[in-house]
Chain A
Amino acid sequence: MSSIVVPLHAIAHGRAGDKGNRSNISVIVYDEALYGLVCEQVTEERVLKIFSHRGASQVRRYELPNLLALNFVIDDALEGGVNASLNIDGHGKTLSFLLLGELTVKLSRSQLPDGSPYVS
């Protein structure tokens, strides 16, 4: 079975919220069968690395298997938060798609949804 490396966006969705200089980003898998794989591969360490250029200091991951979801709480990723940030997106609302786009997962091609643009 051939494996493929794809952005997390191929198999999961999510939403970002903010409180102060702390961001939270949910990661929710579309296919129940892939929840375990995402738990295994989408670790606190890997998420922290994606936000390191923003000054992120710590990531905490919460598992919600009933909801097929993970919740990541990322400290100090908002460049001071909406009070202080010079980023036009001071709330970090777009950061869910930074995570979904930059973090990759390895899986077999057959695990991707039919017609996924990530198959090629």
Chain B
Amino acid sequence: MGKVFIGCGAGFSGDRFDAASAVVDTLARCDGERFLIFEVLAERTLAIAQRLRLNNPDAGYSPYLDAYLEPILKKAKTHKIRIVSNLGAANPVAAAKRVHAIAREQKIDDVKVAVVLGDDLLGVYGPEEIQKLPTLEGISLGDREIIAANVYLGAQSIADALALNVDVVLVGRTTDAALTLGPLLHVHQWPTDDWDRLAQGTLAGHLLECGGQVTGAYFADPGFKEVPNLAEVGFPIAEIDATGDLVISKADHTGGLVSKATVTEQILYEMHDPGNYLTPDVTLNVTDVKLQDLAADRVRVSGARGKPPPPTLKVTVSVDGGWLGEGEITYAGPNALARAELAAAVIWRRSQILGIQEPLRVDIFGTGAVHDNDMSARRQKQKIPADGEYRVRAAIRSVHKKTAQQIADEVQSLYCSGPAAGGGVRQYVSQQVSTASVLVAPDMVIPHVRVELVSA
């Protein structure tokens, strides 16, 4: 069996919409089985999608499905580049129907779409059963409204879907790496206990799943780490042969770069114990991984090792998280810091006068606020230039929308009732989703997982 080429077209919901096109053009020239993945499903994204589906049974898939697939569906079909994505979100069947509609609009014949179902625990269990499960965070789900509860499925069901000889596989919640490992299991037919090869495939998926983060995006630090043409950063392509040999490269004629440094940053991204990265397919160990520069923008990644996965599956439970209220205002020029400090003090005093009990945070941007704590301890101690440009931001979380709005309004009122020359007020009041993780036995989930063809 030859090489498998897997490109990534998006690394998060809202990633650059035109990045996939150059990946498809490059894949079209590769000699082997070709796949294109889109990873667009953060924990909160799925919860929001679930809410949309409750209001409308035809909704609840990624709102960006059209934006990602319309530009490339025809080219992908022409060149037999199969698409694997979690654009299905809370409603993979509706997403599949939308793909068929796009195919009709673009006069693409004979597009076959399969979905993986069964990650949605609310489809099988009542909220009261899910509320009883202990969370890894140690918090009680109590009687909070459960918006979504989705298990991280592994790669096998994606491989099963590809075995139906489809052009597009849409899933809801799987591990991000499964979007890559699924095609590899399908093509290379690796035994599901060939731990080291599953580890290489999972590492390939981990490197692809954030799109440009392995090809020079989220990397540039001018004067220290230079990245050519970041505005047109090329998205990654992994080449994996049947032995698990893995090379990371990127779309041709694009910006960005693939180097040992870019790959190393992404290997360790969101990784805790590098010897035990847990997935439902394999426990990945990257401590002996070696990188080798093969050519410009081509890095070989070898030495991932695997051992059996943990005995339980992880479920993300999303519950109502109340409201976040924020307001911002800017002070600039001579003595700006003192005016910003006064504005902050006024907001604190106003929250007392209004009887607001919830914890409040008031930042001054320009003073290292994101690195500071809720009480601005570092700002109090540091010497900060008196003149300049400072932006005050107040933030509060509350179960009451009214309280969140009050703090946003207090910042707005600084226009006429605050220190001199405050400008550029922005207010945000947004509904929040909180997430917790629970572990479940596979037999609670796997019997309900199924693959379905969705016809036009």
Contacts and interface: CB of A to CB of B under 8 A. Distances in A.
A44 interface: no
The secondary-structure label for the interface of chain A is mixed
Interface in A52-97: 53-55, 60, 62, 64, 66-69, 71, 73, 79, 83-84, 86-89, 94-95
Interface string B254-274: 000000010011111111111
B218 A64 contact: no
B268 A26 contact: yes
Contacts, number: 105
A52 B373 CA distance: 10
Interface stretch (B27-35, B158-166, B282-290): B282-290
A99 B303 CA distance: 29
Interface in A80-120: 83-84, 86-89, 94-95, 98, 117
B309 interface: no
B221 interface: yes
B378 A53 contact: yes
B57 interface: no
B359 interface: yes
B274 A62 contact: yes
Nearest to B437: A20
Given A62-B274, A83-B321, A98-B371, A88 B268 contact: no
Contacts of A73: 272-273
Contact of A15 (B218, B372, B377): B218
Interface residues of B, number: 50
Contacts of B373: 53-55, 79
Nearest to A17: B270
A26 B219 CA distance: 13
Contact of B361 (A13, A14, A71, A87): A87
A95 B432 CA distance: 23
Given A62-B274, A87-B361, A15 B268 contact: yes
Nearest to A13: B225
Contacts of A117: 223
A19 interface: yes
Interface stretch (B2-10, B227-235, B391-399): B391-399
Contacts of A47: none
Contacts of A88: 326, 363, 369-370, 393, 395
Given A83-B434, A87-B370, A53 B224 contact: no
A6 to B, nearest CB: 12
Interface residues of A, number: 37
B287 A64 contact: yes
A18 B43 CA distance: 13
B374 interface: yes
Nearest to A87: B370
Nearest to B225: A13
Contact of A9 (B224, B290, B321, B370): B224
Nearest to B273: A62
Given A13-B225, A79-B373, A71 B137 contact: no
A11 B136 CA distance: 37
Contact of B264 (A53, A60, A69): A69
Contacts of A14: 265
Contacts of A20: 136-137, 437
A24 B271 contact: yes
Given A66-B290, A83-B321, A88-B393, A19 B261 contact: no
A53 B225 CA distance: 29
Contact of A24 (B272, B289, B370): B272
Nearest to B42: A82
A28 B395 contact: no
A119 B363 CA distance: 33
A27 to B, nearest CB: 9
Contacts of A67: 264, 267-268, 289, 291
The 6 closest A-B pairs by CB, nearest first: A17-B270, A86-B361, A26-B268, A89-B370, A15-B265, A86-B395
Given A15-B266, A21-B137, A67-B268, 19 more contacts: A13-B261, A15-B218, A17-B269, A20-B137, A26-B269, A28-B264, A30-B261, A53-B372, A54-B373, A55-B373, A64-B268, A64-B289, A71-B268, A71-B272, A73-B273, A86-B359, A86-B361, A88-B369, A94-B371
Interface of A: 9, 13-15, 17-22, 24, 26, 28, 30, 53-55, 60, 62, 64, 66-69, 71, 73, 79, 83-84, 86-89, 94-95, 98, 117
23 contacts: A13-B221, A13-B265, A15-B218, A15-B266, A15-B269, A17-B268, A19-B270, A24-B272, A28-B265, A62-B274, A64-B286, A66-B287, A66-B288, A67-B267, A67-B268, A69-B264, A69-B268, A71-B271, A71-B272, A87-B374, A88-B370, A88-B395, A94-B370
